[in-house]
Amino acid sequence: MTSIHVTGLRVRHRRRLALDSVDLDLGTGVHGLLGPNGAGKTSLIRVLATVARPDAGRVELLGADVADPRGRAGVRRRLGYLPQEFGYYPGFTVREFVAYMAWLKEIPADRVPAAVARAVARVGLADRADAKVRTLSGGMVRRVGIAQAVVNDPEVLLLDEPTAGLDPEQRVEFRELLRELGASATVVVSTHLVEDVAAACTEVTLLEGGRIAYRGTPKSLTRLGESSGGPGDHPIERGYTAALRAHRTAERREALR
């Protein structure tokens, strides 16, 4: 089933075109969103999260057109979203903050305590549930952000740089959580860490200059790297570089026509 259907998506930031005629279909699984700085990853995530509106194109989430206010409201209850930087009330405990986000997502009141406990445990913070958020380390705050994103067991989960601030052990645990979530939901992970994509994702979309430069599986990107012989410590890193270079070459040729 296709949970995310995007056609002709264009997003402009002032004079710069952040996304240019993007077409994308995503279903159940973990989808890695890669690309250099300024490629359009965050712009795409924000549009999918319904916090930013496109300048052109159509976005359907879970069968609803998000341009329709009624459809958008219904979709938001079924979404989970972690932005690069999220706001929180520092005086809240972890439990209180995640419960507040559960209330915003309209989870029935009698289900909130169990949903919060489960979300906090999934990110390894059960022993810090009653700690003030302001007392936590940066990595722990990031895990609180992940907990609020998954508290409603979302059908579409959008994560923008979720492993920022996590140590290697926490990243391994997070990848396991991604694989668990991707078994029944559509998970989109924007990241600079190619190794996270290799370990946890079922599909890769590479953005460059607001356009899709490559789509495939981590294995296919790895095979591209194995045959390219380019720079990088791991075949998937070499594949990433090779795919970007091939796209740039094609773009230059197109511009000269």
Tell me the pLDDT tens digit for each residue of 131-167. Answer: 999 999 988 999 999 999 999 999 999 999 998 888 8
Whether the predicted pLDDT of 229 surpasses 90: no
Q: Does 231 score more than 80 pLDDT? A: no
Q: Are 207 and 41 in contact (CB under 8 A)?
A: yes
Residue 139 identity: G
In a domain, 236, yes or no: yes
The domain in which residue 19 lies consists of 2-78+154-256
Contact criterion met (CB below 8 Å) for 149 and 81: yes
Considering the domain boundaries, does residue 139 fall inside one? no
Q: Does residue 11 belong to any structural domain of this protein? A: yes
The pTM (predicted TM-score) of the whole model is 0.93
Q: How many CB atoms lie within 10 A of CB 109?
A: 10
Indicate whether 29 belongs to any domain.
Answer: yes
Provide the CATH number for the domain around residue 49.
3.40.50.300
**73 falls within a domain:** yes
What is the model's pLDDT at position 230? 66
Rounded distance, CA 50 to CA 64, Å?
A: 12
Tell me, yes or no, whether 212 lies in a domain. Answer: yes
Q: How far apart are CA 147 and CA 83, in angstroms?
A: 13
How far apart are alpha carbons 251 and 257 in whole angstroms? Answer: 10
Q: Report the domain count for the chain.
A: 1
Question: Residue 253 pLDDT more than 90?
Answer: no
Res. 123: pLDDT tops 70: yes
Q: How confident is the model at residue 232 (pLDDT cuts 50, 70, 90)?
A: low
Pairing of strands 16-27, 203-208: unpaired
Q: Which residues contact 132 (CB under 8 A, 6 or more apart)?
A: 90, 91, 92, 93
Residue 90 lies in a domain: no
117 in any annotated domain: no
Which residues does residue 56 pair with via DSSP β-bridges, in sequence order? 10
Q: What is the mean pLDDT of the chain?
A: 92
pLDDT tens across 64-100, in order?
Answer: 999 998 888 889 999 999 998 888 888 999 999 999 9
- Judged against a pLDDT cut of 70, whether residue 23 lies above it is answered with yes
